Structure 1
């Protein structure tokens, strides 16, 4: 197959932990060809198909210079057997525009994974609100008054932006309410921006578990991101320690229930975040954790995912 990865700049990849790289490596091992572009390289002229300036690459197997560039060319998106949308957040206007271009490419015959429409319809923080049975107390608002009420009710809370990633912009406010007003102003930009507030879950000390769901089925191992020192964030980007663990029966049941609904909407790959037994986020743009699970357990999540890509491309 010919695969196109729509992602961040290749030069920024940290191959020792990058999930997109593990996908590329497994695809290459199977004989598939690899090309890549950034969303900014896509373009659409009236009367023509959606195209992109793509880089056809060959993996070297080295860590530093990990690929060589075979050619750079302007290509129709629909000429590829599968297009993997792997752009990291922020989930901003440019991300939305990219999904519109990819949706047009779908109409032209492209197999795009995850579905562009599903990406648009499932912002990663907001998506949890569809599944209240699995979620702890959560508020989405831009109102300072709402936040004060939520804090008075729950005492210990976490506040975070809707478009962040890697733990960026997350705050914890305890029962004393110290700096609650200032933090609210920072996140809502004086009432102009919507953000999320959740009851603090003390189970975070055991880790924020990333459950990888592929075509509705959770992988047999999860990656628990454990906060270090005085940090409350378990995100690896925020210094958390990643420890792979067998999935629990409870987490498997939760993942299957959510995965069944979302895979039917075109979300082939989901990264479910669970603290204790409560889902906190549903990651769909560029879920990670493949490399850590593979390295620590031998569970070949990249192979499971490329299996699913091959099946999806045949169905398209």
Structure 2
């Protein structure tokens, strides 16, 4: 088969993915619709001997999956997978690095192995070196003027001093995902210092502290940028009694449009993201303040497609692979 037609997706085990939620599945559907042959593998299936990277991968075919008003109509089984083959990574024109966080040792080593293929002409989305350097919390600090007041520190005294300036603060683990481990508290709360001891692992690990924005109750926007251009967004509202709006912790999506300030944030980020090979990015914005820049496996495509009836994945793939 023509190499230009082959696409490799590095994902979590396919049987663990939810076709009605997973953005990687949406992208695979879209690449299949333009005649690409999709293959899948996990991080463990990648090896390099000398400077030659090989993958143990499966060709995969997506079955019928369509949005409905309330959910998705899915044909089961929703994929067909062929026998495993061991092939050079250079047999693929594009590799999509879509492994979900955490960005642990295994993830970082995978980005190194992918660079061997990249040096031999394989395009990797997103660029491996940028995946290593863009922590999804810390990366946003490059645009700190767009953010709510933010501090990253390990020292309890430093975190406490910062927290004294605000009614409430949000504490975020730098390696967290999907809202996991994010807590809201205040310096006047009983046990606050003990909480700081816990989240910093006795002042050994830095955490991000941000001034809490009460307007998060109105939603947290996930904006998807494709090659630096915002192509779609959803507003995620927290469930009752919760301040986190992440879909994984019970937030629910709704249709939204970008404000002029949010469009301005996208414009300010665009050239930097493009120059660093971050072609598929999801940014989070609360009340006009940049919160995070998600580069590993940003989600939200399925929700945009269902709520707007717009074939977002097809638009994204066309922009990345065809234009």
Q: TM above 0.5, one fold? A: yes
TM class by shorter chain equals: over 0.9
- Partners of 1:64 and 1:158 in 2: CA distance: 42
Contact kept in structure 1, 2:226 and 2:320, CA below 8 Å: no
Residue of structure 2 in register with 1:195 after alignment: 207
Q: Does 1:97 align with 2:109?
A: yes
Whether 1:41 and 2:53 are equivalent positions in the alignment is no
- Counterparts of 1:288 and 1:68 in 2: how far apart (Å)? 23
Indicate the residue corresponding to 2:288 in structure 1. Answer: 277
Deviation of 1:176 (Å)? 2.5
State the match for 2:142 in structure 1.
Answer: 130
2:320 is matched with: 309
Residues 214 and 304, structure 1, Cα contact 8 Å, conserved in 2: no
Between stretches 244-253 and 274-283, larger displacement belongs to 244-253
The TM-score, its normalising length taken from structure 2, stands at 0.93
What aligned pairs does 1:149-298 form with structure 2 within 5 A after superposition? 149-174=161-186, 176-219=188-231, 221-298=232-309
Structure 2 CA distance, aligned partners of 1:66 and 1:56? 14
Q: Is the 8 A contact 1:142 1:193 kept in 2?
A: yes
Name the residue aligned to 1:60.
63
User: Equivalent residue of 2:151, what SS?
Assistant: strand
1:104-161 CA-to-partner distances (Å, cap 9, x unmatched) read: 2101221101000111111100001100121111111111111111111123100011
User: SS at the partner of 1:257?
Assistant: helix
8 A contact 1:223–1:243 mirrored in 2: yes
Q: Between Structure 1 and Structure 2, how many residues are aligned?
A: 310
> Residue 227 of structure 2 contacts residue 320 of structure 2 at CA under 8 Å; is this kept in 1?
no
Q: Distance in 2 between the 1:63 and 1:20 partners? A: 17
Q: Which moved more, 1:124-133 or 1:252-261?
A: 252-261
Q: Give yes or no for contact 2:160–2:187 (8 Å, CA) kept in 1.
A: no
Please say if 1:11 is aligned against 2:15: yes
- Structure 1 residue runs of 4 or more that deviate by more than 6 Å after TM superposition: none
Determine which of 149, 152, 163 is the counterpart of 1:140. Answer: 152
TM-score (norm 1): 0.95
8 Å CA contact 1:173–1:179 kept in 2: the answer is no
Q: Aligned in 2, Cα 1:83/1:180: closer, same or farther, shift over 3 Å?
A: same
Within 1, Cα distance between the matches of 2:35 and 2:200?
49
Query: Which piece of structure 1 moves more, 280-289 or 188-197?
Result: 188-197
- Where in structure 2 are there 5+ consecutive unaligned residues? 65-73
**Structure 2 CA distance for aligned equivalents of residues 184 and 63 of structure 1:** 48
Q: 1:57-82 CA deviation, whole Å, 9 max, x = no partner?
A: 11122454211112211111121010
Aligned counterparts of 2:30 and 2:322: Cα–Cα separation in 1: 15
Unaligned runs of 5+ in 1: none
| 1:164-183: CA deviation from partner (whole Å, max 9, x where unpaired) | 11110010003523332232
Structure 1 window deviating more from structure 2 (258-267 vs 278-287): it is: 258-267
Report if aligned partners of 1:236, 1:242 keep a CA contact under 8 Å in 2: yes
CA distance in 2, matches of 1:237, 1:186: 23
- Cα distance between partner residues in 2 of 1:177 and 1:150: 15
Q: Tell me, in whole angstroms, the C-alpha distance in 2 between the residues paired with 1:129 and 1:297.
A: 31
